Structure 1
């Protein structure tokens, strides 16, 4: 006899084709009914509140008077919640976001008196290979998942899932989804008839005689009569024994069977039985870029700056920062960050991210202002604060915007030594828009607005150095620029022919990469969920459409600017007729700094056409069958051509398992002699074309006009979501993209990884003009002209520096980007250093090494140490 574990739940999308306001209104009545049913019948429960504490937060925002009733049921274990704050996507959002999601979800669970110790992920569009690591870092031993699994990965629906660092969790798959047993009849005979096909499917891949039966669905009412119906079925048949259960009880029963579990290591992105919607990685790229910018601003600029200022004696606005994170995470759910929503919801998602970025930038501005205010000037001029978030001394180029009425100026350090700079952009600025005191003036005050590239050295680790802008003083170095037709430094050479076709030479190895950075426009017959080419696509590249090409060499960097007007179809109908009746204006600026071994690329697209996709190609010339991309806190190897492509149509998979993949910010393909890698700013998708296996195609944007459509080439059958027009997803208008290109002359060696980290950049510049949108009283502190909280001698990549969640300590985190085990390195600071988990729980033994593709966290306690 098989034991069927009834787990009653709801899956609560905060937004989708409906808004979060709609959701909260429904939640008010849903929760009112749930509380009443559980209180009236003590035999009911436990009830799974979708594994995310934001449901509680939303409910109490509209029904604060119900907190006592809700808290009591949670403490009794009859309503189970957490461990997540929101049901996040795991392939698009960043590693720090996933960490903070669990950290804040854990804090909420502690507040309300109960946490479900299960990594419940019912609807994420694919599963990260790193999920077991995240869960184990928070002492969670079990996971329940849905999308992404098939027997191509592991033959059974119960298995031991191992992350790259060796972390394991016992995992159960819901093969047919969290809603497979929704809306069951109340009468036993009808219930038995409904359950027969459901249980036949549920037991198909089961390893033991214990089977999960999830009863619930999207925003669906509590089916409180189902347990009694199943009790009656227990008296009427002997094939199944139905028990009122929970995920925890299921895993306890599974362990008691002593059946060995198969081991699986890797990600789960198979769309055989359930769609994972390959395409959401590039849907609404404006939202993806904004989210990446916010994540980077929070974890690698604002929080490190606040940590430094806190050690100098300024307040750390922890609640304000947490509020930004929480609002961001409300935009991290699979539909929300995926962009597979109605236009109204996508606008709300974008607004939350924009609002978070506004507040983060204002906190940065105020804290930079307070920092500059406390520094006693060492030289004449306006103070320039160069802030270094990384835990190693840094040097390089940093962007700085200045406003000045003077034609001449120079920049010096605290000892008066002059720094070199280069003007990247210049325009006129009406200062009444910036300076509050000038806003009511009857005359316009015009200044030069200059975006500078400033060369700096010896910037303290996790700290700052003070420089000075001296206006009206001529710079003491040659600033002239001159035209060039190629870019070249000691490492690289980039040449363009008359058509703008680019060839890159790696001077270290003499390897040549022809036709690099070619642009390709193709049709997109998909929807917000899936990219899907038309049945007969027409690909158009940039080779014949160059309108201008010019280059310039300056004291710090050289650049080539290419402009194209690509003749392309206006829409799918025109593409089918092979009618190029529209133009796509694209500008590419390729920059090579004299001191860097990589190219920086800016691409601007004026998107005036519909139903298409634009990609930039990186032909590697590498004869390999695999490539690598980054994932949260690590690297993953993927096949260039998924073997499942050979069988998906014959086996009637839910969508094509094409080599269209997610990344955090990096993808690379290489052998021992040659290869290319790109590091992007907010671009989350790449593809290995089926007919060009040595090419990395990075998706810049895709334009579609429907939330869901049916019968697409890459996704046959029913529509996903709703068949609802979403014209805003055509994302018309100007879009700007940034990426760096690194040639690989010796594989992924330590020099390469150092360049990758430098290409990401963690230097920030701020000019103390004396102007401010908001006035503040003097804080009275005096700060040194340069300062460092800590330094960390390590090859690990930097993740964050922040205040601890629940103590007056600092947390610093790094991660191993390669698959190799590395030494953690030594932290130098005046506080006590303790190894810890992502949950900020101290480890019993110090951590000296870190596995490949894993994070390492340290808590620094300054108790008894005076602030500076």
Structure 2
């Protein structure tokens, strides 16, 4: 006889085709009903509140008077909450976002008296191979997941899931989803007929006689009659014994069965039984880019700056920072960040991210102003603060915008030594927009607006250095730009022919990459969930559509700018007829700095056409059947051609397992002789084309007009979501993309990884003009002209420097980007150093090396 563990729950989408305002209204009555049922019948429960504490936050925003009632049911274990703040998508959002999700979710649970010790992920569109690591860092030993699993990964629905760093969690799959036993009849005889096919499917892959039966669905009311009905059904049949249970009780029973669990290592992207919607990695790319920019601004700039200023005696606005993270994570649910929503909801998602970025940038501006105010000047001129978030002394190039009435100026350090710079863009600026005092003037004050590339050196680790802008003084070096028709430095040469076809040569290995950075436009007959090529697609590349090319060589870097007017179809109807009745205006600027072994690429696209996808190609010519991409806190190996492509149609999978993959910001393919790597800003999707297995195609944008559609080549059958028009998802208008391209001459060695980290950027500049939109009183503190909180001699990549969540201490974190263990090292500082988990608790073991795909965190108390 099989033991069926009834787990009652709700799955709460905050937004989807409906808004968060809709869901809050429904939540008010849902919770009122749930309280009433649990209080009337003490035998009911526990009830799983979808594993996300934001549901509590939303509910109390509309029913604050019910907090005591809710708190009592949580303390009694009748309602179980957490461990997450929101049900995030784990393949699109960043590592620090996932960490904060658990950190803030746990904090909420502690306030309400209990945490569900289960990594419950019921509806993420695929599962990250890193989930076991994240859970173990928060002392969570179990996971319950849905989408992405099939027997092609692991034969049973219960197994030990192991991350690359060795972390393991006991995992149970809901093979048919969290809603497989929804809306059960009250009558035992009727319910038995309903349950027979459900339980046959639930037990098909079960390793033991213990089976999960999740009872609940999207925003669905508590089915409070089901437990009593199942108890009546128990004596009426001999195949199953139904028990009121929880996920924790199920895992206890699984362990008591004393079976050896199979071990699986890797991600879950298999759409055999459930769609994982691979198109969400590039849907609404404007939202993806905005989210990536906010994540990076918070963890790589704002939090490190606040940490440094806190050590100098300025306040750390912890609650304000937490609120920015919380608002961002409200946009991280699978539908929200996936962009598979109604247009109204996508607008709300975007607004939250924009609001967070506004708040973060204002905090940066105010803290830079306070920092500059306290520094005693060592030279004449306006102070320029060069801030280095990373825990190693840094040098390199960074961007700085200045406004000046002078034709001449120079930048010097504290000793008066001149720094080199290059103007990359210049224009005029109406200063009444910048300076509040000028806004009421009757005359317009015009200044030069110069976007500079500034060369700096010896910037202290986790700290800053002060430079000075001296206006009216001629710079003491040659700045004259000259025209060029190729890019070249000590490492690379990039040549272009009259058609605009680019060839990159790696001078270190003499390997060439022809037709690199080619643009390809194809149709997209899909929806917000899935890219789908038309049944008969017409691919158009950029060759032959070049309208202009220009090149300049400056003091610090050289640039080539190419412009195309690519004749393309206006929509799917025109593409079917192979009628190029529209134009894509695209400009690409490729820069090569004298000191860098990589290309920086900026692409602008005026998207005026519909139902299409635009990609940029990196032809590696590498002899390899695998490639690598980054994932949260690590690297993952993937097949160029998934083996499941050979069977998906015969086995009637829900979706084609095409080589359309997510990344955080990096993808690379290489062999012993050659290879290419792309490091992107906010581009989360790439593809290995089935007919060109040595090419990496990075998706720039895709335009579709429907939330859901039926019967697509890559996703046959019913529509996903709702069949609703979403014209805003055509994302018309101007779009801007950035990526860096690295040629790989020695594979993924230490020098390569250092260049990847440098290509991502690690320095920030701020000019103390004396102008400010908002006035503040002087703080009266004095700061040194240069300062470092700590330094850390490590090959790990930087993740964050911030104040600890619950104590007066600092947290610094790095992670191993490579496929090999790296030396951990120990930060050098005056404080007490404690190796810690992501949860900011003491780490029991203190190894000398950091495994692949693992973070290394230190808590430092001063």
Match of 2:202 in 1: 202
Instruction: Confirm or deny that 1:755 pairs with 2:782.
Output: no
Cα distance in 2 for partners of 1:2, 1:806 equals 45
Cα distance in 2 for partners of 1:434, 1:23 equals 41
- CA positional deviation for 1:843: 1.6
Match of 2:394 in 1: 394
- CA positional deviation for 1:297: 0.2
Match of 1:840 in 2: 840
- CA positional deviation for 1:205: 0.4
- CA positional deviation for 1:845: 4.1
Q: Equivalent residue of 1:304, what SS? A: helix
Match of 1:310 in 2: 310
Which ranges in structure 1 are unaligned for 5 or more consecutive residues? 863-868
Instruction: Confirm or deny that 1:291 pairs with 2:291.
Output: yes
Q: Equivalent residue of 1:857, what SS? A: strand
Match of 1:164 in 2: 164
Q: Equivalent residue of 2:652, what SS? A: coil
- CA positional deviation for 1:623: 1.3
Cα distance in 2 for partners of 1:846, 1:690 equals 45
Q: Residue 834 of structure 1 contacts residue 846 of structure 1 at CA under 8 Å; is this kept in 2?
A: no
Q: CA offsets per residue over residues 284-333 of structure 1, 9 Å max, x none?
A: 00000000000000000000000000000000000000000000000000
Cα distance in 2 for partners of 1:826, 1:253 equals 42
Cα distance in 2 for partners of 1:151, 1:491 equals 47
1:469-480 map, 5 Å: 469-480=469-480
Match of 1:79 in 2: 79
Q: Residue 835 of structure 1 contacts residue 847 of structure 1 at CA under 8 Å; is this kept in 2?
A: no
Q: Equivalent residue of 2:792, what SS? A: strand
Q: CA offsets per residue over residues 316-373 of structure 1, 9 Å max, x none?
A: 0000000000000000000000000000000000000000000000000000000000
Cα distance in 2 for partners of 1:347, 1:247 equals 36
Q: CA offsets per residue over residues 74-95 of structure 1, 9 Å max, x none?
A: 0111100100000000000000
Q: Residue 53 of structure 1 contacts residue 81 of structure 1 at CA under 8 Å; is this kept in 2?
A: yes
Match of 2:498 in 1: 498
Cα distance in 1 for partners of 2:452, 2:567 equals 35
Match of 2:592 in 1: 592
- CA positional deviation for 1:848: 2.2
Over 4 Å off, 4+ runs: none
- CA positional deviation for 1:235: 1.6
Match of 1:865 in 2: none
What is the CA RMSD across the aligned residues, in angstroms?
A: 0.4
Cα distance in 2 for partners of 1:845, 1:84 equals 26
- CA positional deviation for 1:847: 3.9
1:133-282 map, 5 Å: 133-282=133-282
Cα distance in 2 for partners of 1:414, 1:341 equals 53
Match of 1:453 in 2: 453
Cα distance in 1 for partners of 2:178, 2:826 equals 46
Instruction: Confirm or deny that 1:444 pairs with 2:440.
Output: no
Q: Equivalent residue of 1:82, what SS? A: coil
Match of 2:50 in 1: 50
Cα distance in 1 for partners of 2:433, 2:251 equals 62
Q: Equivalent residue of 2:697, what SS? A: strand
Q: Equivalent residue of 1:498, what SS? A: coil
Match of 1:662 in 2: 662
Instruction: Confirm or deny that 1:430 pairs with 2:456.
Output: no
Cα distance in 1 for partners of 2:496, 2:228 equals 75
1:345-360 map, 5 Å: 345-360=345-360
Q: Equivalent residue of 1:514, what SS? A: strand
1:487-566 map, 5 Å: 487-566=487-566
Cα distance in 2 for partners of 1:191, 1:772 equals 69
Q: Equivalent residue of 1:860, what SS? A: strand
Q: CA offsets per residue over residues 143-193 of structure 1, 9 Å max, x none?
A: 000000000000000000000000000000000000000000001111111
1:690-709 map, 5 Å: 690-709=690-709
Q: Equivalent residue of 1:58, what SS? A: helix
- CA positional deviation for 1:819: 1.5
Q: CA offsets per residue over residues 600-637 of structure 1, 9 Å max, x none?
A: 00000000000000000000010110000000000000
- CA positional deviation for 1:470: 0.3
Cα distance in 2 for partners of 1:847, 1:337 equals 36
Match of 2:648 in 1: 648
Q: Equivalent residue of 1:791, what SS? A: coil
- CA positional deviation for 1:40: 0.6
Cα distance in 2 for partners of 1:192, 1:725 equals 40
Q: Residue 669 of structure 1 contacts residue 677 of structure 1 at CA under 8 Å; is this kept in 2?
A: yes
Match of 2:735 in 1: 735
Match of 1:630 in 2: 630
Q: Residue 388 of structure 1 contacts residue 762 of structure 1 at CA under 8 Å; is this kept in 2?
A: yes
Q: Equivalent residue of 1:779, what SS? A: coil
Match of 1:714 in 2: 714
Cα distance in 2 for partners of 1:848, 1:430 equals 56
Q: Equivalent residue of 2:56, what SS? A: helix
Match of 1:768 in 2: 768
Q: Could you tell me the TM-score, scaled by structure 2's length? A: 1.00
Cα distance in 2 for partners of 1:235, 1:270 equals 39
Q: Residue 626 of structure 1 contacts residue 639 of structure 1 at CA under 8 Å; is this kept in 2?
A: yes
Q: Residue 818 of structure 1 contacts residue 853 of structure 1 at CA under 8 Å; is this kept in 2?
A: yes
Q: Equivalent residue of 1:713, what SS? A: coil
Cα distance in 2 for partners of 1:331, 1:283 equals 14
Match of 1:866 in 2: none
Q: CA offsets per residue over residues 467-518 of structure 1, 9 Å max, x none?
A: 0000010000000000000000000000000011000000000000000000
Cα distance in 1 for partners of 2:427, 2:354 equals 26
Q: Equivalent residue of 1:793, what SS? A: coil
